[in-house]
Amino acid sequence: MVVSSPHPDVDIPDVTLYDFLFASLEDQDLDRVAVVDGPSGATTTFGELCAQVDAIAGAAAARGLGVGDVVALHSPNVPAFVSVFHGLLRAGVTVTTVNALASGAEVGKQLVASGATALFTVSALLPQAAEGAEQAGLDRDAVVVLDGAEGYASLRDLLAAGAPAPEVTIDPSTHLAVLPYSSGTTGLPKGVMLTHRNLVANVLQTRPYLPLGREDVVPAVLPFFHIYGMTVLMNFAVLERATLVTLPRFDLPEYLGVIGAHRATVLFVAPPIALAVAKHPLAAEADLSSVRLMMSGAAPFDARLAAAVRQRLPQARVVQGYGMSEMSPVSHVVPVDRDDIDPGSIGLLAANMLAKIVDPATGEEIEPPAEGTSAPGELLCAGPNVMVGYLGDEAATRDTFDADGFLHTGDIATVDADGVFHIVDRLKELIKYKGYQVPPAELEALLLGHPQITDAAVVGVPDEDGEEIPKAFVVAAEGAELTAEEVMEHVAAKVAPYKKVRAVQFTRTIPKSAAGKILRKELRAG
Ligand code: 4UW
């Protein structure tokens, strides 16, 4: 049986993200601060942000970028991320966001896979950006370094031309706004095709249960390049005319300092940040009295951690959301005004959403219970926020949707009689390290590229703090003298730091099904 959201449906206007967020700006908001650069304290007002978005749209159009083009944005959280992202979208460009921690080879792969014809980056990431651009055959003219670098166009150069924003006509329900990369339920990262409508819808679907307003100050430490930061921070906070304080990386003292100095009110976090706030002695000394809400997502967050956070933030609500790049991303959230709901749950379906729980062994739908909690099964979701499909990968798209058009999340969930969902396990092979995606298929391919490795499998296992880490099971070639350190270094040299293999076990065989699929559950069980 299908479970419907208990919330009333919301209307989703047929508009572009620019029209949704910026065309509605009122005079009274123009002088309010939209974005603060955390490290320097420099501020950008809504009026300035909107003018920058228009100017960047004009500059993009003057470079010949518009509808049909894909442009890569490769930057940590800085205020210019917001204006460049929305400026490119305003010009009709589709933006593929690249993880700021990506290696040069990873940047190159995404440029090629997405068909990007230009790359916007920052000087600190230029070594990886330049390597990736070269790999993808982009010449220097196609690379813009926002803060400037010798031999490259900068944002200032682009804006100096003063080109007017172009008039573009696009259909918000079919035109691709963004292409974040996700490995989904299996395999290598794929371009997730999200339309303007997907992004507009997702903000509206959670808005009533997650009130944010003009008085809110929101540290933006979760990366804008990842769908959580993109929708929940960048788009949601801008829509509500709240103030974002950007931080290019997570550094606990700096984060706590920003909360105190800017009187931050709402913290959107992933579990490792929640853990630091709950447990680190520095957090005990920090002034966190301004915080009224902490929301965690992107990886499991249990009720014990929620309770530990509440001890540090007794005045605040501590809630959880759940989502996936393929859902723009939010499908579930614990409504802020429902303190009767377990904070270890992912709460209720967002507005306009449907879900099913299906027995992965039989494909049978599990009935929601009249009372108590359902049996666990795979969660499938449908709604206006669900992606169109994976770019250029019809087979993966087909496999990700069931016959009724519901998206396979690859997560195992239960639902209770009140419509409250819990995530209890993960069916898919994906590993999450500090909330970042680590696709085992990618690491396995790298391991198999080592001349002394004949077979390998990578699974997520808990470390001593209970955090998930990637562990490699390795079959070494006959007579090979391979150490665990060598295996780890082999991978670390080629991938972003969060994708490193952090534990190695040598084994004689990798358990596989008759069809040759790695039996990951067996490996995880040890
Ligand atoms: N509990 C257990 C969770 C949870 C979870 C995600 O990288 P992606 O594609 O996307 C994300 C999205 C995070 C997110 C979305 C909306 C939201 O409100 C929120 O919190 C405020 C966070 O991470 O990875 C998707 C996969 O990440 C796992 C799960 O396996 C999912 O399929 N995941 N949230 N609360 N696991």
Q: Is 195 in the pocket of ligand 1 (CB under 6 A)?
A: no
pTM of the model: 0.96
CATH code for the part of the protein at 1-16+200-428: 3.40.50.12780
Q: How far is the CA of 228 from the centre of ligand 1 (A)?
A: 8
Give per-residue pLDDT as tens, 30-39: 999 999 999 9
Report the residue among 190, 324, 385 best suited for mutation to probe ligand 1: largest number of ligand atoms under 8 A from its CB. 324
CA of 436 to the centre of ligand 1 (A): 9
Q: Which residues contact 430 (CB under 8 A, 6 or more apart)?
A: 183, 184, 185, 410, 437, 438, 439, 440
Indicate whether 309 pLDDT > 90.
yes
Query: What residue owns the CA closest to ligand 1's atom 26?
Result: 324
**pLDDT above 80 (res 59):** yes
Tell how far the Cα of 349 is from the centroid of ligand 1, in angstroms: 14
Q: What is the pLDDT of residue 466?
A: 83
User: Which pLDDT tens digit goes with each residue over 366-401?
Assistant: 988 999 999 999 999 999 999 999 999 999 999 999
> What residue's CA is closest to ligand 1, atom 30?
411
**pLDDT of 526 over the 80 cut:** no
Residue type, 441: A
pLDDT at 18: 98
pLDDT of residue 498: 96
Look at residue 89 and tell me whether its pLDDT is greater than 90: yes
- Asked whether the bond before 384 is cis by omega within 30 degrees of 0, the reply is no
Q: How far is the CA of 298 from the centre of ligand 1 (A)?
A: 3
Percent of the chain with pLDDT over 70: 100
Domain coordinates in residue numbering, the chain: 1-16+200-428, 30-169, 437-525
Dist. CA 185 → ligand 1 center (Å)? 13
Per CATH, the number for 30-169 is 3.40.50.980
- Mean pLDDT computed over every residue of the chain: 96
How large is the average pLDDT for residues 264-274?
A: 96
- On the question of pLDDT at 222 being above 90, the answer is yes
- 161 or 59: which carries more pLDDT confidence? 59
pLDDT for the residue 427: 94
Residue 510 binned pLDDT confidence (cut-offs 50, 70, 90): very high
Q: What pLDDT sits at residue 36?
A: 98
Provide the pLDDT confidence category of residue 152 given band limits of 50, 70 and 90: very high
**1-16+200-428 and 30-169 share one CATH topology?**
yes
Side-chain half-sphere CA neighbours of 320 within 13 A: 28
Q: Please report which confidence band the pLDDT of residue 164 belongs to, taking 50, 70 and 90 as the band edges.
A: very high
Cα–Cα distance, 416 to 180 (Å, whole number): 32
Tens-digit pLDDT profile for residues 240-259: 999 999 999 999 999 999 99
State the fold for domain 437-525. Answer: GMP Synthetase; Chain A, domain 3 (3.30.300)
Establish whether residue 407 lines the binding site of ligand 1, counting it when its CB lies within 6 angstroms of any ligand atom.
Answer: no
Comparing CA positions, the residue from 220, 221, 182 lying closest to residue 386 is 182
